[in-house]
Amino acid sequence: MSFLGDTDRRILKLAVPALGALAVEPLYVAVDTAMIGRVGTSELAGLALAAAVLSLLVAGANFLTYGTTQQVARALGATDAPAADRAGRTAMWVALSVGVTAVPILFLVRGTLVDLLGGTGTSAGHASTYLGISALGLPAVMLVLASQGVFRGHSDYRTPLWILLGSNVANAVIEWVLVFTLDLSVAGSAWSTVIAQWGAAVALLSLQRRRVGRLLGSRPRTGEAAPLLTAGRHLFLRVAGILVVLTGSTSLMARQSDAALAAHQVVMAMFILLALILDALAMPAQTLVAEAEGAGRVDEGLSISRRTEVLSCGSGASLAILLIAGAGLVPRLFTTDLTVVDQARGAVMLLGVLLIPGAIAFAGDGILIGLGDYRFLGRLSLATLAAVSPLYPLLSRLDAGPTALWACLTGWMALRAVTVHLRYRSLLGTSHASEATR
Mean pLDDT per 10-residue section of the chain, whose length is 438 residues: 77 93 80 86 86 87 94 95 89 94 96 85 92 97 95 94 94 95 94 96 86 60 83 92 87 79 81 89 94 92 94 94 88 77 88 95 96 95 94 84 92 96 88 41
**Domains held by the chain: number:** 2
Domain with 333, as residue range(s), is 228-436
Same domain, yes or no: 152 and 28 = yes
Residue at a domain's end among 158, 192, 224: 224
Q: 175 and 83: one domain?
A: yes
- One domain for residues 199 and 276: no
Asked whether residue 260 falls in the same domain as residue 145, the answer is no
* 138/266 same-domain check: no
Same domain? For 297 and 429 the reply is yes
**pLDDT in the model for residue 430:** 56
Distance (Å, whole) CA 199 – CA 303:
39
Q: Are residues 280 and 327 in the same domain?
A: yes
| Residue 240 and residue 207 share a domain | no
Tell which of 191, 224, 257 closes a domain: 224
Residue 123 lies in a domain: yes
- Residue 29 sits in the same domain as residue 17: yes
Regarding whether 172 and 114 lie in a shared domain, the answer is yes
Contacts 24+ apart (CB under 8 A), 196-200: 196/28, 196/167, 196/168, 196/170, 196/171, 197/28, 197/137, 197/140, 197/141, 197/144, 197/167, 198/137, 198/140, 199/166, 199/167, 199/170, 200/140, 200/144, 200/163, 200/164, 200/166, 200/167
The answer for residues whose C-beta is within 8 angstroms of residue 333's C-beta and 6 or more apart is none
Residues 205 and 141 placed together within one structural domain of the fold: yes
CA-nearest of 305, 367, 284, 371 to 11 is 284
